[in-house]
Structures are given as C-alpha cells and as structure tokens.
Amino acid sequence: MRKTRNIIFIVFGSLLTSIGYDLFLVPHKITPGGVGGIAIVLYNLFKFPFGLGYALLNIPIFILGMKNLGFKFGMKTILSIILIFLFSDFIHYVLKPPILTHDLLLSSLYGALLLGAGIGFVFRGGGSTGGTDILGRIMNKYTGLSTGVSILIVDSIVIAIAGTTFKSFDIVLFSYIALFVSSKLVDMVLEGRDYARQAIITTTKGDKVVEAITKRLNRGSTLMKGIGGYTGMERDVIFTVISIRETEALRNLVQEIDPDAFVVITTAHEVLGKGFRPRV
C-alpha cells in the first residue's frame, strides 16, 4: 500500500511540475534556478524541447550523485525525471495549450505554486526531481557549505545566466520570486510549517547506519549504546536531526541496512547548529 501511494505521489507531483513549467514559466522565460532553468534557457534560445533538455541535463548530475542517493531513492528520482520529460513535451507539442496570462508576476506565482506543490509530492513519494537537490548534496560534501546554501548558490547562478542571456532584469526579479514561493510551498506540502525532524534509531547495525547517514544525507549523528528493556539485549541507539525533505531518504536507508530497526521520527521545533538555520 505504501509503495502504491509513493508511486501515485511521484506521478502526480511530476505532472504538476510539468504543468507549472509548460503553462507559466517556459513561455515567459522565468527560470527559477536548477536544471529546469537551464532547460528553459535552451528552449527559448534554440527551441530545444524543454522536457528532453531537462532529462539530458539531469543525466550527468544523476551519475555524479549516484553514490549518495541509495538505490530506492535513485530509482524514484529517475522515474520522476522521465515523467517530467514525457509530460512536459506532451503538453507542449501535443496539447499545445495557449498562453494563459501575459502578466509576468501572475505567471511566476502560478508557475511557482504548481512547481512547489509538484516537487513536494515527489519528495513525499520518496524521490526527487533531480538537478539542484543532487548538486546541493554534492557541493555540501566537497565544500562544507550547507545543502540549503549550496542549492541557493546553484539556483542564483542559473538565474544570473538567464538574466544575462535574455538581457532582462525583470526576468531575474520574477525568477527569484518563483524560486522563493516554490521552495516555501515544497516545505508546506511535505510537513506543514515545521522545518526539521529528529530521529531516534534502535538497531544492531549502528556503524553502518551512521556511515549511511553521513555519506548519503551529509548529516551528523550520535551513536550510543542501550539495553532493550524487554529483551535485555544490547542495542545501538542513534540520534540525528534532518530536514523534512530528508525524512523519506532516512527511512529508506535504515530499511535497507536493518529491516528490523526501530525508528522514531518526531518534529524538532528548533535546531541550533551546523546545517540548520535559526527559526524565525
């Protein structure tokens, strides 16, 4: 049942993402960062199909991030990328919808709402839409910058490229508006307004789980020893704090390593430390 739900989330999220791009962002050259932004530039400059460009640009990024993704997360990410490719080009070349509004502000807002909701549902299904999220993790690993800051840097570079290419400050402004709105909506779709999760994992394979958390999620953790109250047997107890976007990835990696592990994930109201911004 959970697998079916996850697939539905990924398909629905990919469809919403494609609609947001094709109906509102691509026609007006609004580039909210990431691979999608580069694909929008390529389409408007050379008429290179947006969906195909999105998929092709994601291939080298996906290969670079394979070690950090995990099998299940990687397969779901591939599914989402393929669906966005198919949905986007089908909408554009087969359905051929008219331009719904010529107002750049409305286009950036409508596109961002659909994009944010779509990406949020894909994350809830245990995958990602590729691109910026993978690059953010890679930059975090090799530069020490937080994933959030890394993603912002990548997106800002793409928006700057678009603004320079199209010689329009308006494009830069409305692209940042779309980026801000979509990123906020992703978090709201995932888990309301809460921004972090704390997890306590009881397992017999503590070292492997800690290693996976470090390498795949680029998160720190605390490994302790505990005694089962019922069995009296010694267990490893791991404490870690993750972002809400990483919740499904944590579940998957623990399940892969130790299917018998006991996992409790709860809301962290505020986190002070490396990798998390102060709550405002």
Please tell me the distance from the alpha carbon of residue 181 to that of residue 33, in angstroms, as a whole number: 12
| pLDDT at residue 276 in the model | 62
| pLDDT at residue 158 in the model | 92
pLDDT less than 50: residues of the chain? 280
Q: Map out the domains of the chain with their CATH numbers.
A: 2-191 (no CATH), 196-267 (3.30.70.120)
pTM: 0.76
| pLDDT at residue 280 in the model | 45
pLDDT in tens, 78-121: 999 999 999 999 999 999 999 999 999 999 999 999 999 998 89
List beta partners, residue 225: 236
Please tell me the distance from the alpha carbon of residue 45 to that of residue 48, in angstroms, as a whole number: 8
Residue-wise burial string across 175-189, b where 16 or more C-beta atoms lie within 10 A, e elsewhere: bbbbbebbbebbbeb
Instruction: Tell me, rounded to whole angstroms, the distance of Cα 216 from its chain centroid.
Output: 14
Regarding beta strands 221-227 and 262-267, do their DSSP bridges make them parallel or antiparallel, or are they unpaired? unpaired
* Residue 238 token pair: 């791991």
Contact between 159 and 172 under an 8 Å Cβ cutoff? The reply is: yes
In Å, how far are 37, 74, 157, 197, 213 from 51, measured between CA atoms?
Answer: 12, 19, 21, 34, 33
* Residue 247 token pair: 């919740």
